Amino acid sequence: MTDMRTPLGRVRGLGSAKDGTMHFWRQRVTAVANVFLITFFVFLIISLQGADYQTFVATMQNPLISVLMLLVILVGCYHMKLGMQVIIEDYVHSEGMKLMALMGNIFFSSFIALASAVAVLKISFGG
């Protein structure tokens, strides 16, 4: 059996973190889900083109529409977080900057998802 680790990795006992495959699959599953969710979102925006505020609110208060909008937001933001994580890990070489960028990525994507979800819930519950 061939050991693919570097000599330094063998000395330190470092090897695969066993996280790459799960990250790969999460990114692919969210991408497939986004195909359907973003298609729904585009059709919703097109159907509401030129509608007044009351029509928009009435549409968003439909439970099916609001649940699908929440899925668009949550799956989209999670997919965004995963994609940016890969970019940061691949192209930021300073460990300190990489850590800061990864933390910023988590905070930013979580903030956007939470703020958007609160907005959808507020509209859907009539607040």
pLDDT (tens digit per residue) in 58-100: 999 999 999 999 999 999 999 999 999 999 999 999 999 999 9
- Confidence bin at 14 (pLDDT 50/70/90): low
- Condensed to tens digits (0 to 9), the pLDDT of residues 27-58 reads 999 999 999 999 999 999 999 999 999 999 99
- The C-alpha atoms of residue 53 and residue 2 are separated, in whole angstroms, by 65
**Domain residue spans of the chain:** 20-124
* DSSP code for 61: T
pLDDT at position 56 is: 96
Higher pLDDT, 126 or 101: 101
pLDDT at residue 21 above 90? Answer: no
State the pLDDT confidence band at 123, using cuts at 50, 70 and 90.
Answer: very high
Q: Provide the token pair at 55.
A: 């029509």
Name the architecture of domain 20-124. Answer: Up-down Bundle (1.20)
Q: Are 73 and 120 in contact (CB under 8 A)?
A: yes
